[in-house]
Amino acid sequence: MTVAKPLPHDAAHLHVTGQARYVDDIPTPKGTLHLAFGLSSIAAGRITAINLDAVRAAPGVVGVWEAKDLPSDCDCSPSAHDEPMLSGATIQYLGQPIFLVAATSHLAARKAARLGQISYAERDAILTIDEALAADSRFEDGPRIWEKGDAGEAIDTAPRQISGVIEMGGQEHFYLEGQSAMALPQEGGDMVVHASTQHPTEIQHKVAHALHLPMHAVRVETRRMGGGFGGKESQGNALAIACAVVAAATGKPAKMRYDRDDDFMITGKRHDFRIEYRVGFDDEGVISGVEFEQYTRCGWAQDLSLPVADRAMLHADNAYHLPHVRIESHRLKTNTQSATAFRGFGGPQGMLGIERVMDHIAHDLGLDPVAVRRANYYSAEVEGGVASAARTNGAALATPAPSAPPRSLSSKMKEQDIASRGSEELVENTGAEGAVAGQTTPYGQVVEDFILHDMTDRLLDGADYEARRAAVAEWNAGNAVIKKGLAFSPVKFGISFTLTHLNQAGALVHVYQDGSIHMNHGGTEMGQGLFQKVAQVAADRFGVPLEMVKITATDTGKVPNTSATAASSGSDLNGMAVKAACDTIRDRMANHLASLHQCDARDVVFADGQVRVQGETYSFARVAQMTYEARVSLSATGFYRTPKLSWDRIKGQGRPFFYFAYGAALSEVAVDTLTGEYRVLRTDILHDAGSSLNPALDIGQVEGGFVQGAGWLTTEELVWDQAGRLRTHAPSTYKIPACSDRPDVFNVALWDGRNREDTIYRSKAVGEPPFMLGMSVFLALSDAVASCGDGYPTLDAPATPERVLTAIERVRDGV
């Protein structure tokens, strides 16, 4: 059996030796043109004059395109058709592409792109959340509101109330491999595109639209990416379209890659958020009602902002049962880069809001924050809405099903895009129902698989929490300069695309005469080990060694209509699709052998590279040869669609998630109160990957996700100046965590459970959920700051040393 084994990444040796081939490593045909964009130098306004004569006359330049020269609008949007590749006369953000240059080399194209002479009529740019609110600049016609129960009444009648606000910044993806694409013109006007993308089908769709071609005339291939994190779900569209347009116009191959500075300036980042909260609770910290107002800075175009903001609302409860809750979400339009998908897809922002609430309650009551969190957990087991004997927050289970919240938006339908991720205005006839009485989320899904009670006990016992809590208090009492903080944070993360039709996958599997197996599926490899996991599934279905299985590049010509490798769904969807294809071929082989041996096909056993039937043993290769000679097909497609999903995003009701993945982290930090500098001393993590397909890869994902999440909340700060120019646009000014920033003691383990839902080998997704474990570092910093005085440290994210120092001063001054 190959599944559940901690096997190394299939391309690990290629990565470390430099042999792994990325788009920029593909040998280019003679005469390949290289492209670059000319970018705007203002954030908002109109172009009054443009002179590109110097660009056209620059050495090596072959062609220059403005918006009026393109074969279509060349829309790059994954959702609302509001993102033309080139700006035209209207400028929406500083760094927006205005014209396109094709030259004989990458350097020549970049140099020429800087020579454009452009005059503007500037207008005041909308850059911040406050400015967008003042101007009523937003996507959708008003706030989206979801409600359960009567939060206002519950808060007003609660024994205690608090309110507050937390600001959290965006985050740059900072993939090792930047955005890149190459287009190769074919006969008859067809196009082959190599793209560093998480969504080959969207590239196919957008290139076909730009060139007025049917999708069958465009083939997109992606072997691997050097990191994606959501930044290559939609942001690669512009490069692929540009290459295809130039290739179609000139008949020559075209290639484009962003330099790091251009990548920062052009592409979207994680969404900035502000979350205001008001909460009512009792003397034990049990929440009776809570109100959230979420403000999302979306940037200039819609991109994936609506589903991102939706998912922030969907995760506003995190691990906690909220009997009465109101969530109001504002999606604000600003003259900045169009914010886009990033690992967690809005979930981290929503979770950080409720985690701030838990810490604030604990501080107000003088209780251990872990005790407050445990008091608000969902029940340990809930079947069909009926709670187990575990604590159920008293009468909360009797909360009636909520009616649909007021419709604050017009019901006009907007143009939909087949590649979008849950951003339609309406989702009709989903069959989504209101919440049943029971332990339901704010959106009405019954939480049936809650395991954080046991996970919390095991993590805290193993990490010696009680003794360390006391030791931190003793340390802080005796040390005036260096303060320590210790904090725990849980994770409950929903797994599925919130746009139901994206929860599908296909696969194509061939068995050759010699027994070797060739496989394609719709998922993309960005370093996470998806190909390795899916190969392990295929090897297990046929009972052969892993080296018998080969997965090649993701290819829209082999597996059509793929969903993005996103929403942590890669292994779930593609693993099941490959399993279906393999089982089809294996059953054909078994039926053929059974007919030869006059027995039932169920008596044929595939294991250890051999096939046994009626006392006879064949090699798998021999059975493949025999089946081929009997003229039985050894090729099959597989298909999978996630079951049990039903979601109405307008009502905010239904079951958007197939299941939940869980995790828990405990982090300890030390803070220098004179400078605000800090170190992470120790982190202990217990994460739920179900019955892991590959524990080694999953632990790697947990470690990396945690570090990236901690980076978002600590060192990674995006700064725009008053003109709308991104000032942190290079490694010199934007700081991702380095190896030395990881915890000095870093203990990571996987929970020894299995998925109650019928996923591939009962595993669970592990791409996004570990990211939120990094919140424990932010909360530990807040805990350390709190030891400096009596006030609550309203620390914002990212908690840079400057912000930490400011928070320390506020706490000491009693502000």
- Catalytic residue numbers read 768
Q: CA 474 to CA 461: how far, in whole Å?
A: 20
CA 48: distance to chain centroid? 39
- Residues 647, 656 contacting (CB under 8 angstroms): yes
Number of neighbours of residue 616 by Cβ within 10 angstroms: 10
In whole angstroms, give the CA distance from residue 333 to residue 352: 22
Residues whose CB falls within 8 Å of the CB of residue 55, separated by 6 or more in sequence, listed in order: 38, 61, 64, 99, 101, 112, 113, 115, 116
Asked whether 660 and 493 are in contact (CB, 8 A), the reply is yes
Cα–Cα distances in Å, from 769 out to 227, 347, 630, 673? 17, 9, 48, 32
- Give the DSSP H or E segment for 66: none
- My answer on whether omega of the bond before 27 falls inside 30° of 0, hence cis, is no
Ordered alpha helix ranges (H), 424-529: 452-462, 465-478
Number of neighbouring beta carbons within 10 Å of residue 203:
29
DSSP 771-787: GGGGHHHHHHHHHHHHT
CB count within 10 Å of CB 668 equals 27
352: nearest Cα among 171, 495, 230, 496 = 171
CB 807 within 8 Å of CB 794: yes
Provide the token pair at 385. 């809405």
Q: Which amino acid is at 744?
A: D
Query: What is the CB neighbour count within 10 angstroms for residue 53?
Result: 11
Cβ 606 vs Cβ 599: under 8 Å = no
Q: How far is CA 127 from CA 92, 94, 307, 308, 737, in A?
A: 11, 11, 22, 19, 27
First to last CA, the chain: 61
Give the DSSP H/E element, type plus range, for residue 806.
helix 801-813
Q: What angle do CA 558, 564, 565 make, to 5 degrees?
A: 95
Tell the residue number behind the tokens 């792994």, with chain if given: 20
Angstrom distance (rounded) from CA 80 to CA 304: 9
Q: In the numeric block, which tokens belong to residue 14?
A: 């290629």
3-state secondary structure (DSSP) of residue 68 = helix
Q: Give Cα 767 distance to the centre of its chain.
A: 8
Tokens of 813: 């001054």
**Rg of the Cα atoms in the chain:** 27
For residue 548, how many other CB atoms are within 10 A of its CB? 19
Strands 653-655 and 646-648: antiparallel
Using CA atoms, how far apart are residues 772 and 760, in angstroms rounded to an integer? 24
Burial of 119: CB neighbours in 10 Å, binned 0-12, 13-18, 19+? exposed
Spatial separation of the C-alpha atoms in residues 554 and 218, rounded to whole Å: 14
